[in-house]
Amino acid sequence: MKLLLRRTATAATVGTLLLGGVLVTATSASAAGSSTCNIDDAKPGSVWETSTSNVNLRSGPGTGYSSKGQLRSGTNFTYHCSYLTSDGKNLWYYGTVREGYHKGVSGWVSWRYAHLA
């Protein structure tokens, strides 16, 4: 419980700094949905695809979050929004898988493994 509170407080602080004082409510580490997004750098609804095989579809924007499954190369997903880490080095895309085994599942994909379709 203390870890959850610490993560929530950290996420809220980072969100506040990134959005110029606007408080962002963070979700739990086990299921960080679109409310975690802190930037909208591409058109919501655009189609993206994975650029390599075995790409983890994560429950939150970071490698510390659990994987909901692995996506094949070329798997399409509908982009919703993005999360930029506080150090500015990692960008995560939140989207919903459009095809294959994980069709309809929403999750996070690292920018390193995705591009516009």
Q: What angle do CA 12, 35, 39 make, to 5 degrees?
A: 80
Angstrom distance (rounded) from CA 30 to CA 83: 16
- Would you give per-residue pLDDT tens digits along the chain (117 residues)? 444 444 444 444 434 333 343 223 333 334 567 678 898 676 888 999 999 999 999 999 999 999 999 999 999 999 999 999 999 999 999 999 999 999 999 999 999 999 999
Query: In terms of Cα–Cα distance, which of 45, 72, 39, 40 is closest to 56?
Result: 72
Angstrom distance (rounded) from CA 62 to CA 29: 10
Residue 110, pLDDT score? 98
CA atoms within 13 A on the CB side of 22: 7
Angstrom distance (rounded) from CA 40 to CA 61: 14
Q: What is the pTM of this model?
A: 0.70
Here the tokens at position 70 are 């692995």
Domains located in the chain, CATH noted? 32-116 (2.30.30.40)
